[in-house]
């Protein structure tokens, strides 16, 4: 959700933001950016997902939402490879299946009273998305969304009302929407959005925008609030979540601290705060009011040799909103990780 922070955004033109109580973030610069989304003068861009081309990482792709219109596919050069009119899709995620199929799905909020999950396949050679169809995912407004292949292919619908519904997705025939069965239902007390799975053990992290970050063990229907809004490391809203796994259970969880245009980094598995960073002004501009984020710690070529971090930029004037690309190596260096 975009917060009206014009004053903060203006101050960021010279660097990165702080709040009266927040711990100042270190500044990193974007190494690239995408073309703006097509919906101008609106809060439209929202959430990115990364497909890594293992054979040629420089040919990797980014799938991202214009929540007023549909899905864009970008190359690492930020150029638009394709667009599909999918309507009001808010958050997006993708997985590469064992047979090489890249399965893409998004939270569909066309019907604000009843959520759906819209599904697609990505042709990685052409960069084109093909719609498979949508399936219902329960009452409420579709909002956050993430997927996992831990155990089976699962998708989590996060509704604006606070309900979390996990679906196991079955196989599908070419050109047909997959069938799905709800296997778990959870909730948080107030509006959530960002979510991410730890593929190593199935742990699920969910951001409750005005409260903090929840953790649910694999298969559990009750969770624990592991990091609360404190106006030091996390400033509401908590938005996108991303994970950088290392070893058996280590690494980092990154959260968009939207209220002060920063990103909070926590060590895993204990969720100890280790630092904060912001995307400062540079060749490609700063990033403010970030909603969705995505992170892959594999190499994507010389510009992103230790991984790629992508953040939605909610304040990209005079152009429409877009997505900033950041070297994960630059983040690690800035934070001394």
- Secondary structure (DSSP) of 165-202: EEEEE----TTSPPPEEEEEEEE-SS-EEEEEE-TTT-
Confidence of residue 21 (pLDDT cuts 50, 70, 90): low
3-state secondary structure of 126: coil
How would you class 106 by CB atoms within 10 Å of its CB: exposed for 0-12, middle for 13-18, buried for 19 or more?
Answer: buried
Does the pLDDT value for residue 52 go beyond 70?
yes
Q: Which residue has the tokens 């066309």?
A: 110
Please state the rounded mean pLDDT for residues 245-267: 97
Adjacency order of strands within the sheet including 154-159: 142-148, 154-159, 163-169, 180-187
Predicted pLDDT of residue 7: 31
Confidence of residue 18 (pLDDT cuts 50, 70, 90): very low
For residue 150, CA distances in Å to 29, 90, 116, 154, 219 come to 34, 24, 22, 8, 11
The percentage of residues in the chain with a pLDDT greater than 90, rounded to a whole number, is: 91
Does the pLDDT value for residue 280 go beyond 90?
yes
Whether 280 and 29 have beta carbons less than 8 Å apart is answered as yes
Predicted pLDDT of residue 174: 76
Confidence of residue 22 (pLDDT cuts 50, 70, 90): low
How would you class 191 by CB atoms within 10 Å of its CB: exposed for 0-12, middle for 13-18, buried for 19 or more?
Answer: buried
The answer, yes or no, to whether the previous bond of 189 is cis (omega within 30 of 0) is no
Does the pLDDT value for residue 4 go beyond 80?
no
Could you tell me whether strands 32-33 and 322-327 are parallel, antiparallel, or unpaired per DSSP bridges? antiparallel
Predicted pLDDT of residue 238: 98
DSSP-assigned letter for residue 13: G
3-state secondary structure of 302: helix
Predicted pLDDT of residue 12: 31
- Which of 6-10, 22-26, 56-60 reaches the highest mean pLDDT? 56-60
Q: Residues with Cβ < 8 Å from 74, sequence gap 6 or more?
A: 34, 35, 61, 62, 63, 64, 80, 81, 323
Name the token pair of 125: 């050679």
Does the pLDDT value for residue 212 go beyond 90?
yes
pLDDT tens string 103-154: 999 999 999 999 999 999 999 999 999 999 999 999 999 999 999 999 999 9
Predicted pLDDT of residue 1: 52
Please state the rounded mean pLDDT for residues 76-95: 98
3-state secondary structure of 7: helix
Give the Cα separation of 80 and 142 in Å (integer): 26
């Amino acid at each position: 959700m975009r917060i009206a922070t014009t004053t903060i955004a203006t101050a960021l033109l010279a660097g990165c933001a702080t709040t009266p109580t927040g711990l100042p973030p270190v500044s990193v610069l974007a190494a690239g950016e995408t073309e703006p989304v097509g919906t101008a003068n609106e809060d439209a861009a929202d959430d990115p997902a990364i497909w890594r081309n293992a054979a040629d990482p420089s040919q990797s792709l980014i799938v991202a939402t214009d929540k007023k219109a549909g899905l864009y596919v970008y190359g690492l050069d930020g150029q638009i490879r394709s667009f599909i009119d999918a309507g009001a899709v808010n958050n997006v995620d993708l997985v590469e299946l064992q047979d090489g199929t890249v399965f893409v799905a998004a939270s569909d909020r066309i019907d604000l009273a009843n959520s759906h999950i819209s599904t697609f396949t990505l042709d990685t050679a052409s960069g084109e998305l093909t719609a498979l169809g949508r399936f219902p995912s329960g009452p409420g407004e579709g909002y956050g969304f993430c997927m996992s292949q831990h155990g089976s292919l699962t998708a989590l619908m996060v509704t604006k009302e606070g309900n979390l519904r996990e679906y196991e997705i079955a196989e599908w025939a070419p050109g047909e929407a997959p069938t799905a069965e709800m296997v778990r239902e959870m909730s948080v007390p107030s509006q959530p959005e960002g979510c991410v799975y730890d593929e190593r053990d199935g742990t699920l992290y969910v951001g409750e925008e005005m409260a903090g970050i929840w953790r649910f063990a694999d298969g559990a229907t009750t969770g624990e609030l592991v990091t609360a809004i404190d106006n030091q490391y996390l400033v509401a809203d908590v938005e996108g979540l991303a994970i950088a796994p290392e070893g058996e259970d280590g690494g980092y969880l990154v959260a968009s601290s939207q209220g002060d245009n920063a990103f909070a980094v926590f060590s895993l598995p204990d969720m100890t705060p280790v630092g904060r960073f912001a995307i400062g002004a540079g060749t490609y501009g700063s990033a403010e009011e970030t909603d969705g984020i995505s992170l892959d710690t594999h190499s994507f070529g010389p510009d992103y040799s230790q991984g790629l971090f992508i953040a939605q930029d909610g304040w990209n004037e005079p152009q429409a909103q877009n997505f900033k690309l950041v070297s994960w190596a630059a983040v690690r260096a800035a934070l001394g990780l």
